[in-house]
Structure 1
């Protein structure tokens, strides 16, 4: 979890302030370029910058780790696809209307759309499970454009200066927004109790989660989405924004609702659902994540950080 801004050292504040000035200047300068050129340009730029940061090595290491059937993939090509998609997503989040127009025009396919509409008609809350794949904000914008007002749980950026305008940018795709943490979870629960819709990202290493196989290797995965769905009777529906061949448009894929059972079984189903779509569009998932970090018990992790366990 990113540190609270009040806990940062003076040097960290200086470092974050400087990097934020650079990024803000870059994003503002990019707005001078027409959207259809700006998005791929940012993709190429992030690809080059990512190499300097060693992200290509992270992709290569993750690819070595997972299922044998992916061993024939070219890690250099996968890195280019992953970083290009990441750069395009950054440009899109800050683009405003041009991005919203394309997202809202995206076709919505799959049985999950019917499940969403039936849940809304019944006044039942909905949890949309998504991932760092394609551009997850495109799915939110597309569904908001269809009249499905929804909130989203997000993770605060480590850079407090960048986080401020980043949150304002993603708010343009729909509100309310719930920051990951105790306060945000309380607000999310209240939203679900009122029968609301919320999107939640499920593919990050989650301290306190369960070891669930992802691409043949155990990955620490949060069971909280499934627990919330069971507790509040919410429909748990996987949703993804699949980037199309032209690099600018999307298809919103809503897969079948995960049947209610128990948190572990439901979380395994979500993980398998994500793996299936990543296998179809391998370069659209964020392989730069440290998704397969070792499992550390909550109490031990808290002692290592000097904090008390919750």
Structure 2
């Protein structure tokens, strides 16, 4: 069944991916109408999240942000499909970096990097970074259920010298790379919600106490890697600009969870500046009523 699904769906995705951007975003507008107006995909979750973290905003404000979010959400869907056939030149034109010298400086220092980001702006095209740096790239991801689509996603990323690894593989792969003396840059989307029963750390995110993933911080300390945050700004439709910010080059000097807390503060700042570009469909605050006594 997985192969049949792949055989049927892949040609459709490929045909969409070769559309010129003008038609691609026209398709996004059509998808927006059905996803938001007709189906209402996770609309209640989105609006509940917005009301939760923005209690002072009016219902009109919530409705406006919701609509803007779904427009961006649908754009990201078609941009992900476009990754199948987008050229390197197109990618470089549309996804720019404001301060690559920060990464180049760490490269000169022979420092590997933990690159932390959130589900904000666009993270689909960040892989073009590998065409600007010499670090070997890894990104932690969740394996797709369909093994054929999983291989496809890995193949797309490999075009830019980026390699996808699962959470379980991460430590072994990065430890082996360090042992070999390889310079690596390792991407972590670190704002997801861990299981409440397995969380080592709880803290406030957008004013609400939640469990937080600490894996990126723990690996940075264990493998002595610089920790860099990257923020993505949407310039206009289909065009993004990324800025790197150093959290620390000496992670072992930080108290436990201090790096994680700094990361979330940076994510908050992004959200407050332009909330429509955060991924509100995820139930990020679903564990807010399960805070253990020791973290209250």
TM-score (norm 1): 0.78
| Cα deviation 1:221-249 (Å, max 9, x = unaligned) | 1111111111122111111332222x111
Structure 1 residue 43 displacement after superposition? 5.2
1:206 to 188, 194, 197: 194
TM-aligned CA deviation for residue 294 of structure 1: 1.2
Given candidates 272, 285, 291, the residue that maps to 1:279 is: 272
Q: CA deviation at 1:265?
A: 0.9
Q: 2:68 aligns with which of 81, 86, 89?
A: 81
- Give the unaligned 5+ runs of structure 2: 292-296
Q: Which residue of 2 aligns with 1:257?
A: 247
The structure-2 alpha-carbon separation of the partners of 1:65 and 1:254, relative to structure 1 and needing over 3 Å to count, comes to: same
Equivalent position SS for 1:136: coil
Offset, 1:191: 3.1
Match of 1:220 in 2: 211
What is residue 305 of structure 1 aligned with on the other side? none
Tell whether the 8 Å contact from 2:234 to 2:240 is kept in structure 1 after alignment. Answer: yes
Change over 3 Å in CA distance of 1:221–1:164 after alignment to 2:
same
Q: What is the rounded CA distance, in whole Å, between the counterparts of 2:40 and 2:72 in structure 1?
A: 17
Is 1:191 paired with 2:177? yes
- Whether 1:243 aligns to 2:234 is yes
| Residue 278 (structure 2) pairs with residue 291 (structure 1) | no
2:16–2:82 Cα contact (<8 Å) kept:
no
Cα separation, 2, equivalents of 1:47 and 1:233? 47
Distance 2:28 2:53 in 1: 29
Q: Of Structure 1 and Structure 2, which has the larger fraction of its residues in strand?
A: 2
- Does the CA contact (< 8 Å) of 1:27 and 1:94 recur in 2? yes
Change beyond 3 A, Cα 1:190–1:26: same
Q: 1:154 aligns with which of 136, 141, 165?
A: 141
Q: Provide the secondary structure at the position in 2 that maps to 1:254.
A: strand
Offset of 1:215 from its aligned partner? 0.9
1:231 is aligned to: 222
For 1:304, the equivalent position in structure 2 comes to none
Count of residue correspondences: 279
Shift of 1:177: 1.7
* Native 8 Å contact 2:247 2:262 kept in 1: no
Q: Are 1:43 and 1:86, in contact at CA under 8 Å, matched by a contact in 2?
A: no
Give me the whole-angstrom Cα distance separating, in 2, the residues matched to 1:117 and 1:78. 37
Matched position secondary structure for 2:161? coil
Q: Tell me how far 1:54 sits from its aligned partner.
A: 3.3
Q: TM-score, normalised by structure 2?
A: 0.81
Alpha carbons 2:203, 2:261 under 8 Å: kept: yes
Q: Which residue of 2 aligns with 1:167?
A: 154
CA distance in 2, matches of 1:75, 1:22: 38
1:158–1:63: structure 2 CA closer, same or farther, 3 Å change rule? Answer: farther
Q: Offset at 1:273?
A: 0.4
